[in-house]
A and B are shown apart, each in its own frame.
Chain A
């Protein structure tokens, strides 16, 4: 697979949320605003790239019977890094995301890529895969976050969109998240192979 295709598959054809339906818990939980969505997406991308790299490097040494615990140890290392960095430099965002930062450990996208890709491919291809998946995850989170923030709170990036806008509260609530994710999945299905 060419590096370009390897990167692009994470953004469209194998997009983690819209095509693989992975990582839906953070998608539903943190997309109430664009800021949270971008923060979550970038944190997950960081972990994804480095865990993919390390798992790919160690793939010959990790015995297959204990590979899942080994992956978790590697992933948890990077999640701890992100968690501490975020609480040091972005305390407001860290407080907003709360439990969902440590929960990146069990994010199924990261486990999924470790198992499905990094454990079978070389380090360079694994980095590109992790980066593509991470960016695809971030993009979709951001679009969903923006839609939900505009409709549910009448704001974007914390700023009011219009003075005379009545927020449609349901989009700020969990059912609104399911609704928006579902509609975007349907949109991707209907656009299908065009891209």
Chain B
């Protein structure tokens, strides 16, 4: 029996939901260290964000858009979890719930749902929370404390002109103030290893992103050229979380290989400019959002080379 249909004819076993659940698994190491460092409150924030994201997606699909409900594909869980990783442990739960609902409603469903959003929904939620509740979003706490003791992040200390007294080892392990899921570079690298092993992400965006930040912060040192503390810069802030888990979002990053490198370099330049000369101590989330907006342009100008096409023609 012959059937006539349009391409694609060969389908992979991989599906949106299997990819999303693997992403959730790859995020677990950073989540576990987050709960270990910052206490049970971090766990409650994660649960609140995930529930809020899934329930808002359900309500919007069922009652507003009136289409098939696909909340079990795991994408809303990923958005909620990533947002929770992007907030301070001191954030009131209702703010986390609101931010997560905003991320899904405005960041994702308003653009047409999964696969159609221009901006990374979790970062849209974070940008909304930073603009709405600046005090609660920028008050960070020390890890391993019985009660909440506030502290500045290493980047914020540098921004104020001080000296951060956190060793490279502590930065790598994540023993510093910061967002729930961003502090431990080691745990993030373990998770990124899972994504690389499953081949859901390539090293193009993370390497070009982190490399650009390293080069820029090394060249433009605080006192003289070519003397910046680049290792400190790449290990602090949310760079590893952003570079491996958010800049590599399949929906909001360029399709072509060269486009992805351009995207990573762009993210790196904007992050470094914000950190070195901007008003905020950290610029990872805004840099990725800005480059998300440029992805259609990158995809229009940098197209994959066809087989046999001459270079430079």
**Chain A partners chain B:** yes
Which residue in chain B gives the minimum CB-CB distance to A186?
Answer: B110
Q: Which of A26-34, A105-113, A136-144, A165-173 sits within the interface?
A: A165-173
CA distance A168 to B110 in the complex (A): 20
What is the bound-complex CA distance between A186 and B60, given in angstroms? 14
Q: Are B131 and A169 in contact (CB under 8 A)?
A: yes
Contact of B106 with A by CB under 8 A: yes
How many residues does chain A have at the interface if contact means C-beta atoms less than 8 Å apart?
10
Q: Is the CB of A170 within 8 A of B106?
A: no
* Contact indicator per residue, chain B 190-211, by CB within 8 Å of chain A (1) or not (0): 0000000000000000000000
Q: Which residues of A contact B128 (CB under 8 A)?
A: 170
Contact A169 B133 (CB under 8 A): yes
Task: Flag if B133 contacts A166 (CB, 8 Å).
Answer: yes
* B100-125 to A contact mask, C-beta < 8 Å, 1/0: 00000010001000000000000000
Interface: A179 (CB within 8 A): yes
A175 at interface, CB cutoff 8 A? yes
CA distance A166 to B110 in the complex (A): 25
Contact present for B134 and A169 (CB under 8 Å): yes
Is residue B132 contacting chain A, with contact meaning CB distance below 8 A?
Answer: yes
- Report the minimal beta-carbon distance from B221 to chain A, rounded to whole angstroms: 34
Q: Which residue of B lies closest to A182 (CB)?
A: B110
Question: Which 6 pairs of residues, A with B, have the shortest CB-CB distance?
Answer: A170-B131, A170-B132, A168-B132, A169-B132, A170-B128, A173-B131
Using a CB–CB cutoff of 8 Å, the interface residues on chain B facing chain A are 98, 106, 110, 128, 131-134
Chain A residues engaging chain B, CB cutoff 8 angstroms: 166, 168-171, 173, 175-176, 179, 186
Q: What are 17 A-B residue pairs whose CB atoms fall within 8 Å in the complex?
A: A166-B133, A168-B98, A168-B132, A168-B133, A169-B131, A169-B132, A169-B133, A169-B134, A170-B128, A170-B131, A170-B132, A171-B132, A173-B131, A175-B131, A176-B131, A179-B106, A186-B110
